[in-house]
Amino acid sequence: MTMIIEVKDLVKTYGRKRALDNVSFTLNAGSPIALVGPNGAGKTTLFSTLCGYLNADSGSVSIFGHKPGSDGLFGRLAALPQDAQLDPRFSVSNQLCLYGQLQGLDKKAAENETHRVLELVDLKDCFHSKPHELSHGMRKRICIAQTLLSHPEVVLLDEATAGLDPVNAREIRNLVRTLQSDTTFILSSHDLVELDDLCDQVLHLQQGKLTAVDRIAQAELATLTVKLKETGTHGHVEQLKTLQGVENVSLNASGAILIEYRSGQQVDIDVLQLCRAQGWHYKSLVNGKTLEDELFG
């Protein structure tokens, strides 16, 4: 596996505020990585430090062996800042072609590249548009298109789907899925369902401190999350505990039922049969815990 980012003992303070508090982690190339945490946890500060927009007080960041912001990362790392804006004075093509040229493409190649990335975000007809002619969601997709110029190997998306309607948000998730075999995405979002769906690895920041949750590594006990139309009760829990292979059953904060069972056993059919036999109104059954349960359960 190719290591893309190594962060060691990173500290960033604003005055007396420790926004990043001895953060260390390594990330390998591969499926999308989620960066989560409550407001003020330090996510944007971490992104800005990885991009070289901010200098840390101490600690180190190495991206493909380079320091953030160095020439060696040109075209390899791209980022969508949380508050990214297009310049209202220039057309989409003017702006994207300029960025392409800044990355070393000649005019024609930058134009071709602009057409390619606009097609990726399904906005190929907006080549000549001015930003004010576009909706908020379209402008956001153009900004994402900009990050994809020259096929970067790593793309950081800070709240890429915030404020978007469900259709636009889904388009962006689909785009990440489509490109994930060539590009490693690191996504920050407050939408845990969205990240749950896309990401295999989670970086959880809280008050500047990091807990890395590697979801792939969990092995010995597997989890099923069952939602019933009715809220889960102690009675459901006790019945489910009687099933063969089941080690533990609990309820989460929203009334879904978490069933832990020995890996390798198949309990889902038994669970469904029990639901039917008991007349429980089964709504959904998902392999694994939801991201919310993993982080806060």
CB of 294 vs ligand ATP, minimal distance in Å:
19
Of 21 and 268, nearer to ligand ATP (C-beta) is 21
What gap in Å lies between CA 143 and CA 79, rounded to an integer? 9
- Using the rule CB under 6 A, is 55 a contact of ligand ATP? no
What gap in Å lies between CA 83 and CA 91, rounded to an integer? 19
Query: Given its phi and psi angles, is residue 49 left (phi above 0), alpha (psi -120 to 50 degrees) or beta?
Result: alpha
Pick from 27, 33, 36, 37 the residue near ligand ATP by CB under 6 A. Answer: 37
Of 68 and 232, nearer to ligand ATP (C-beta) is 68
Distance of alpha carbon 60 from its chain centroid, rounded?
23
CB of 264 vs ligand ATP, minimal distance in Å:
39
Beta bridge partners of 286: 225
Binding track over 15-34 against ligand ATP, x by CB under 6 A: --x-x---------------
Of 158 and 270, nearer to ligand ATP (C-beta) is 158
Binding track over 200-229 against ligand ATP, x by CB under 6 A: ------------------------------
Pick from 1, 16, 39, 166 the residue near ligand ATP by CB under 6 A. Answer: 39
Maximum Cα interatomic distance, the chain, rounded to a whole number of Å = 68
- Name the pairing type of β-strands 221-228 and 282-287: antiparallel
- Give the angle 86-130-112 at the CA atoms, nearest 5°: 80
**Mutual orientation of helices 107-120 and 92-102 as an angle, nearest 10°?**
120
- Contact residues toward ligand ATP (CB under 6 A) are 14, 17, 19, 37, 39-45
